[in-house]
Structure 1
Amino acid sequence: MEMEPQKFSIAVDADHKATQFRPLSLSSPHMRAFHLAWLSLFSCFFSTFSIPPLLPIIRQDLNLSPTDVGTAGIAAFAGSIISRLAMGPACDLFGPRLASATLSLVTAPILLSAAFISSPLSFILLRFFVGFSLANFVANQFWMSSMFSGCTVGLANGVSAGWANVGSGLTQLVMPVIFSILNTNFNLSQSTSWRAAFVVPAIFQAMMALMVLAYGQDLPDGKYRKHKKLPNKDSNDTGVFLNGITNYRGWVLGLTYGFCFGVELTMDNIIAEYFYDRFGVNMETAGVIAASFGFANWVSRPTGGVVSDKLGRRFGMKGRLWGLWVVQTVAGLLCIWLGRVDSLWGSVVVMCGFSFFVQAASGLTFGVVPFVSKRSMGVISGMTGSGGTVGAVVTQLLLFSGSTKFSTETGISLMGVMMIVSTLTLTTIHFPQWGGMFCAPSFDHQDYHPLA
């Protein structure tokens, strides 16, 4: 493997992608891109999930019914589905830096429009359009896959997305504090306070977008547009899209991701209410439990990336696929168990185990994604990322919409069954040069070493 230490401060491969991962470094371009990517996505998670913690006040102020609140939650995920599908091709065409920053700058003012909403419909529309910002997840993973080599891309993807997902937990704690400060220290009314509180996440998101534009770099060797003009670069954008959308591996990974990350999103929506209703804890305690579920991403998703890379180095693609299947299946079993535990502390313990495995499965999924198609990596990332939000919508509608006959605890257990069944589709994935879970490679490709 060719190294060029004279040009980069970190070891790289022949494509100048980093073969080392140093999260405490700010070296350009690899580690700087990493920190910009996760902080930018962190701000998007913080913005999107800044609304649920203030729902008790918003619901009262806008006279929202339980159906309105549920519809708004589904709308947020629906917006994310559409935008994630579009973000993949956008990254392929314009690069992750420009695509990410543009979306953040467009959606930040939408969050500020909360100051003007006055009806259930306007609230639902607000959540729908704010949810678009979660498409930055696709740009995040695309960027990491452009900067890090196969031997460390799983770790880079896992840590970048895992640290960013902590934003969904932190906002559960921070937004009520911001509201309280505005309401008590500045003597603002409750209605004015919750509206003004959204200035903080909106400004944070816009500032991170500007930093991505100012200090980010798409590729180790420069800007993405310049790279696309090179003679050996495929310029058929339609072909890139079709190549990705017709790759069945992307659809399989989208399905499995729908029942790991999609389940995680669903739990973010229901877990506080579940503990409040079933075990009679107060709202503050339920909020802390819900926040801890999101905080687990700090270590769980990166761990999934580390496991994927280690299994890849030792067993090749077969190791990555088997690792994903085992971890997600264990998560499904814990999800079934969570719905059946009838004690508070027992449920908290099982929830902690479940949160670790379901989030680690997301990291393992994106340990496989970069190998599906180098040519259409953005499209594949978009398909997989969209699968996560589709899974959230499906589980929310089928099991937790309020119109089903299932109790919440039964719905949680059934969600675990869906996780286990969906993960079985991984057995159909086969790469000609690497094989699959049960099959050997279709041909001998001795000169290709993707995991070295």
Structure 2
Amino acid sequence: MTFPAVLWSAPKINPINRKARSIPVLNPYNKYGRVFFFSWWGFFIAFWSWYAFPPLLVRTIRTDLKLSQTDVANSNIAALCGTLVVRFIAGPMCDRFGPRWTYIVILLAGSIPTALAGAVTNVSGLIALRFFVGILGGTFVPCQVWSTGFFDKNVVGTSNALIGGWGNSGGGITYFLMPLIFDSLREDRGLTAHVAWRVAFIVPFILIVSTALGMIFLCPDTPTGKWADRHEATRALLEAHLPPGQTGHALTEKADSSNASSERGDYLNENGEKKREVHLPATVDVGRGSIEVVAAHEAPMTQQDMLNTAKGEVVVAPSFKEAMHVIFSLQTLFHSATYICSFGGELAINSYIASYFLKNFPYLGQTGAGRWGSMFGLLNVVTRPLGGVVSDLLYTQVSKNLWLKKGWITFVGVISGAFLVAIGLTNPHNEATMFGLIAGMAFFLEAGNGANFALVPHVHPHANGIVSGTVGAMGNTGGVIFAILFRFHGTNYAESFWIMGVMIMALNVSVCWIKPLPKGQIGGR
């Protein structure tokens, strides 16, 4: 299938887990295209609401609530702490209850404090409210796990990066939309500033609730149906492609064994060449329903790959012991450390970028500084997806060696740190220099997010929720660390930038030696 037809055509699918081998971005009628849309759109709306305060904190809310610089910094930290807690919880929830319902619950829970923004009257109320609005930042975990469940290894990096990048751009659009909504309410509707900023929060509340309802009524849990039936579905699909009676034996043997040599199901021979057509049943029964089997839509796979997929890549409900093993593995440590740098840095910068612009270019005003600040977040539309696309290209076109994906993560991390050091040490007062350096830094910092979650689906695929939740939460931990850095340096934003850059370079280099996958891992390769 060629570009651009791949953007709307029904994708080829993995015959065992039914994951798509391409991304029908422009086809909402196809279930893969529909899940792709709601995955990024839900995160986009959540990110918009999560970061709806900083654009108006530059002047309006700060003046109305009589906030100090320390008060603003503390509220920024509170928003990140709320998200950190939810992301740790969301990972195991995704593995146990499925990412779709986890997503829906987080959206609806976060919509309540969003609607209550107008009730804030003092700094304590602001800090408490922003902590609970931070629940919405936890949507990142189910959006990535849901995507990983619908898109196969050859495109999952691109899918996760597009969803994460387009979702993250909500943090940029909020710098443009919240001042715009505020100005419209004040100038066109005649509301006072005291009332207008409170009413403005009703807009994201309505969008959050409508998005959650769309997920409930329009989207499936998995490509095979209900989350609770995923193991039964995998077994039934494997039975349809293997000789009668072999499935149970095959699943109890090591997945890399060579005992499964029957011709039935052998789409490819050991050299990767098509071997023979296979006659498959029209449907397989799963639970109370059935799954349609259309051989023409299935991607070719060797029988051995089918066995590895069935045994190593179906998410299981985690035990405490298994969860601890996954969380404290070296591979999770690598992703956590690098995501602390990329996403943590992005979160902290998102909170202060408009204030930094206003300090160096006071003539911009709150709205002008906010619009330029939106550039940093809006670049996610391109930069984060590019990080995932490059990662997938290195994997599929150069060599199926996951060290290439891992090396790409380290490369963009070190370069982004270098840009931060350059911004901090030069502290530009020339618009072209400042905005150029910020754009360069954003390119590599945000590409690091996409690159990271292009490799995450390969690591412990049976516990993808736990890995995604842990790594996502550590990204927020980085946001808290860097927000504290900004807090203690007050309005000396330049100093915070170069210190952050040094920390990011050092942390990326310190974990670059870790292997991409745990020794002996089944699946994910």
Structure 1 Cα separation of the partners of residues 496 and 19 of structure 2: 44
Q: Mean Cα displacement is larger for which, 274-283 or 197-206?
A: 274-283
Match of 1:264 in 2: 346
Can you list the C-alpha shifts for 1:335-366, whole angstroms capped at 9, x where unaligned? 11111233422121111111111100110000
Over 3 Å counting, the alpha-carbon distance change for 1:218 and 1:428 in structure 2 is farther
SS in 1 for 2:425: coil
- Where does 1:207-356 land on structure 2 (aligned, <5 Å)? 207-227=210-230, 234-235=316-317, 237-283=319-365, 284-313=367-396, 314-315=398-399, 316-341=401-426, 342-344=428-430, 345-356=432-443
Q: Mean Cα displacement is larger for which, 283-292 or 265-274?
A: 283-292
Deviation (angstroms), 1:140: 0.7
Match of 2:473 in 1: 386
Match of 2:304 in 1: none
Structure 2 Cα separation of the partners of residues 354 and 118 of structure 1: 37
- Alignment size in residue pairs: 431
Any gaps of 5 or more consecutive residues in structure 2? 1-8, 236-250, 252-313
Over 3 Å counting, the alpha-carbon distance change for 1:45 and 1:363 in structure 2 is same
Deviation (angstroms), 1:305: 0.4
- Where does 1:38-437 land on structure 2 (aligned, <5 Å)? 38-55=40-57, 56-227=59-230, 234-235=316-317, 237-283=319-365, 284-313=367-396, 314-315=398-399, 316-341=401-426, 342-344=428-430, 345-398=432-485, 400-401=486-487, 403-404=488-489, 407-431=492-516
8 Å contact 1:155–1:306 — kept in the other structure? yes
Can you list the C-alpha shifts for 1:184-224, whole angstroms capped at 9, x where unaligned? 32222222211111110011111111111111112111121
RMSD: 2.1
8 Å contact 1:244–1:373 — kept in the other structure? yes
TM-score by length of 2: 0.78
Q: Mean Cα displacement is larger for which, 131-140 or 45-54?
A: 45-54
Match of 2:14 in 1: 13
8 Å contact 1:369–1:381 — kept in the other structure? yes
Q: Mean Cα displacement is larger for which, 12-21 or 340-349?
A: 340-349
Any gaps of 5 or more consecutive residues in structure 1? 1-7, 434-441
Deviation (angstroms), 1:406: 9.2
Over 3 Å counting, the alpha-carbon distance change for 1:236 and 1:68 in structure 2 is closer
Over 3 Å counting, the alpha-carbon distance change for 1:134 and 1:449 in structure 2 is closer
Deviation (angstroms), 1:312: 1.4
Over 3 Å counting, the alpha-carbon distance change for 1:236 and 1:356 in structure 2 is closer
Q: Mean Cα displacement is larger for which, 408-417 or 152-161?
A: 408-417
Over 3 Å counting, the alpha-carbon distance change for 1:13 and 1:187 in structure 2 is same
Can you list the C-alpha shifts for 1:147-200, whole angstroms capped at 9, x where unaligned? 111110000000001001111111111112212222232222222211111110
Structure 1 Cα separation of the partners of residues 67 and 232 of structure 2: 52
Over 3 Å counting, the alpha-carbon distance change for 1:236 and 1:396 in structure 2 is closer
8 Å contact 2:318–2:463 — kept in the other structure? no
Structure 1 Cα separation of the partners of residues 13 and 231 of structure 2: 21
Percent identical pairs in the alignment equals 30
8 Å contact 2:10–2:24 — kept in the other structure? no
Larger radius of gyration: 2
Amino acid at match of 1:302: P
Amino acid at match of 2:352: I
Structure 1 Cα separation of the partners of residues 212 and 513 of structure 2: 39
Match of 2:37 in 1: 35
Deviation (angstroms), 1:146: 0.6
Structure 1 runs of 4+ with >6 Å offset: 229-233
SS in 2 for 1:31: helix
Structure 2 Cα separation of the partners of residues 228 and 118 of structure 1: 51
8 Å contact 2:461–2:524 — kept in the other structure? no
Can you list the C-alpha shifts for 1:270-306, whole angstroms capped at 9, x where unaligned? 1121122134442233222211111100000000000
8 Å contact 2:416–2:501 — kept in the other structure? yes
Amino acid at match of 1:87: A
Amino acid at match of 2:149: S
Deviation (angstroms), 1:257: 0.3
Structure 1 Cα separation of the partners of residues 14 and 31 of structure 2: 14
Structure 2 Cα separation of the partners of residues 414 and 426 of structure 1: 19
Deviation (angstroms), 1:450: 5.0
8 Å contact 2:179–2:370 — kept in the other structure? no
Can you list the C-alpha shifts for 1:27-77, whole angstroms capped at 9, x where unaligned? 432221110110001110111111112222222222222211110000000
Structure 2 Cα separation of the partners of residues 120 and 406 of structure 1: 19
Amino acid at match of 2:54: P
Structure 1 Cα separation of the partners of residues 54 and 489 of structure 2: 22
8 Å contact 1:272–1:287 — kept in the other structure? yes
SS in 2 for 1:128: helix
Deviation (angstroms), 1:124: 0.4
8 Å contact 1:142–1:377 — kept in the other structure? yes
Match of 1:436 in 2: none
SS in 1 for 2:19: coil
Match of 1:5 in 2: none
